Amino acid sequence: MSRAKKIIAVASGGGHWMELLRLRPAFQGHEVVFVTVSPIYRSDVGTARFYVVNDATRWDKLALLKLMFRIARVLVRERPDVVISTGAAPGCFAIVFGKLLRARTIWLDSIANVERLTLSGRLAGRFADLWLTQWPHLAKPGGPRYEGSVL
């Protein structure tokens, strides 16, 4: 049997966070560290290590820079084997830094985006070892792949 992995699970708030929590059965037997944008989510993860970072949008460059450094600090401190995210900006940075740290990376694009992939998903997908969409019509050769949804 393979050794337990350290997984960093990253999501912004709202639906992204709820989708990430629905993946928890897949994490059983592994050490999971959660990263999100609000301290109110701490109670969702029990005794797992938990980090709060600022949220940011593409319109607030200073907040994005601050978020980038905070995510980098968490990943360097934790040295994960796997980084998984359901979005948005915090997850995108986590996928990029995870890849730089030689972690396996997984991006699961939000189910809320029916018409097209999220901007974060399009960016993170370039770095993800596994790039998934929750809508079959958004799958394409070279990624993302459709393997089902988390609903």
Domain 6-146 belongs to what architecture? 3-Layer(aba) Sandwich (3.40)
CA dihedral sign of residues 83, 34, 39, 150: positive
Per DSSP bridges, beta strands 49-52 and 145-146 are unpaired
Percent of the chain at pLDDT above 90? 83
* Angle at 106 (CA atoms; ends 25, 139), nearest 5 degrees: 105
Q: What is the pLDDT of residues 69-96, one digit of tens each?
A: 999 999 999 999 999 999 999 999 999 9
Amino acid identity of residue 66, one-letter, is: K
Tell me: pLDDT of 1 over 60: no
16-20, 107-111, 115-119, 122-126: least confident range: 115-119
What value does the mean pLDDT take over residues 9-24? 96
Average pLDDT, the chain: 93
Residue linked to tokens 């593409």: 58
Contact 124, 92 (CB under 8 A): yes
Look at residue 114 in the predicted model and tell me its pLDDT: 72
C-alpha–C-alpha distance, residues 34 and 23, integer Å: 12
Contact 36, 90 (CB under 8 A): yes
Q: How confident is the model at residue 151 (pLDDT cuts 50, 70, 90)?
A: low
Amino acid identity of residue 82, one-letter, is: V
Burial of 28 (0-12, 13-18, 19+ CB in 10 A): exposed
Here the tokens at position 38 are 């609000």
C-alpha–C-alpha distance, residues 100 and 79, integer Å: 11
Amino acid identity of residue 59, one-letter, is: W
Q: What is the pTM of this model?
A: 0.94
| Domain boundaries, given as residue ranges, for the chain | 6-146
Q: Which residues contact 2 (CB under 8 A, 6 or more apart)?
A: none
